[in-house]
Amino acid sequence: MAGLSARGLPDVNTIRADSFLGSNAAPAFDTSDGLTEDEAVAVALTLNTDLRAARAGLGEFKALLIGAKVFPNPEVGVGVRPGFGGTPGLVVDTDLLFELLKPGERSARIGAATAKSEQARAEILAKEYDLATRVRGQVFAVLVAEQTAAALAEEVSLRERAESLIRSRRQLGEANELDTSAAALELAEVRRDHRLALVGLQATRFELNRLMGVPPSYEVRLTDAGRPLTVVLFDDPSDADLTERVLGGRLDLRAKEAEYRAAEEELRLAVSRQYPRIKIGPSFEHDGVSDNYIGVGATVELPIFDRNQGGIAGASAARDRLREEYTALLHRLTSSAFAARAKARAIRAEVDAQEREVLPLLKRSQDLSRGAFEARDLSVLDWITSQQRALRTRRAYIDTLASYRQALIDLDDATGLSITHARSSGTPIPAEQAK
């Protein structure tokens, strides 16, 4: 009966982060034993189709920088004026005019193109970090789904043995029809849970393959598959540390800063365009048969009506808008980070409460019910009820740990700096508390 009482939910090692020590050196990339979490992230950053499409767009911003550095082409003007009204001769004049750049125009164009290129790179880096956090969460989801499906398969086997035992007791008169029906119903429910777990596992695998950029039919082997899940319990950051992490780690803030710098350069470019356009160059004129003249020609735009007032006003408004958008983005990201920390803190408190209060009671209850059942002091129906209660309690604990791990990943995503990726080794909580 000990085997029937055992629950096959995945073992979990919970590690205290304050005992975390270790090297920050990156491990060697070795896929012979499957993919670790970091290796899965590396594959995703290389093969993810959406990320590759975003990187391909960098060429457009490089083209903007090339165009910003190019000088305007010179203009050639040719005039032919034959004599008119009895005037003999022919006049031919030619001008080669070079447009003079306005004060600060070229540097502003280069600055705007450079800032836009930096913005594009920052946005891609933000997408890479977002993809990395999603892959980390999905890898853990696959591991949980795999072990849950395997545990439920073992549970089905155990409940089949339990039903067979109860049927034997029914034949011996030690159980009634209600006990047999209850055992059969529990077996059907566990089989249903197993089928749903297999469907969920397939869905999580498909999502992981999509994020990694591999075909849906490709089987991604994970190094930690079949091993006890490891969940590290971290002390959450302080308010000042959290704000500092958001300011220093959120790459979308850097992208918005680069966009604001581009707007500054666009405004500077608009201001430079209020000055008149000047073209100057050599001029040659042939008059009559042998009269030739050479000198300097020039054209000057008279900015009487249009001094680019609309362009300056538009660029100034765009800059002000981006300043407010940056403030709003910072406020939104800070609020999200505080909310993510509050969620992780609440789930951490729940984990501590279950380890301190629920798990010891669960173990004691299981020991008592097992002893009473083996001593024939507990009916089959009561024993099944106690097993169902223990099953729900253990599932709730595993779900809480999985939620805590996902909350930490969400906190990493909210701050832009990883809290959970410290290289370390720790002391697991005793196994009897994790089972």
What is the per-residue DSSP string for 27-44?
A: PP---TT-B-HHHHHHHH
Alpha-carbon distance 373 to 371, whole Å?
A: 5
Note the pLDDT of residue 430: 35
What is the pLDDT confidence band of residue 60, given thresholds at 50, 70 and 90? confident
Q: What is the CATH number of the domain that holds 192?
A: 1.20.1600.10
Whether the pTM exceeds 0.85: the reply is: no
- One-letter identity of residue 219: E
Note the pLDDT of residue 316: 93
Over residues 86-93, the mean pLDDT reads 79
- What the block records as the tokens of 3 is 């085997």
Rg, Å, the chain Cα set:
37
**Domain count of the chain?**
1
Alpha-carbon distance 261 to 118, whole Å?
A: 10
Over residues 241-250, the mean pLDDT reads 87
Over residues 410-417, the mean pLDDT reads 85
Note the pLDDT of residue 187: 86
| pLDDT tens-digit series, residues 341-382 | 999 999 988 988 888 888 888 888 878 877 887 777 776 667
Task: Assign 3-state DSSP to the chain and report helix, strand, coil percentages, each to 5.
Answer: 65, 10, 25
| pLDDT tens-digit series, residues 157-173 | 877 877 887 788 778 77
> What's phi and psi for 88, nearest 5 deg?
-80, 165
| pLDDT tens-digit series, residues 179-216 | 788 888 888 988 998 999 999 999 999 999 999 999 99
Q: Which domain holds residue 341?
A: 2-434
pLDDT over 60 at 115, yes or no: yes
- What the block records as the tokens of 230 is 């490891």
- One-letter identity of residue 105: E
Which of the two residues, 129 and 23, has the higher pLDDT score? 129
In 257-403 the beta strands, taken as DSSP E runs, fall at: 278-287, 291-300
Note the pLDDT of residue 201: 92
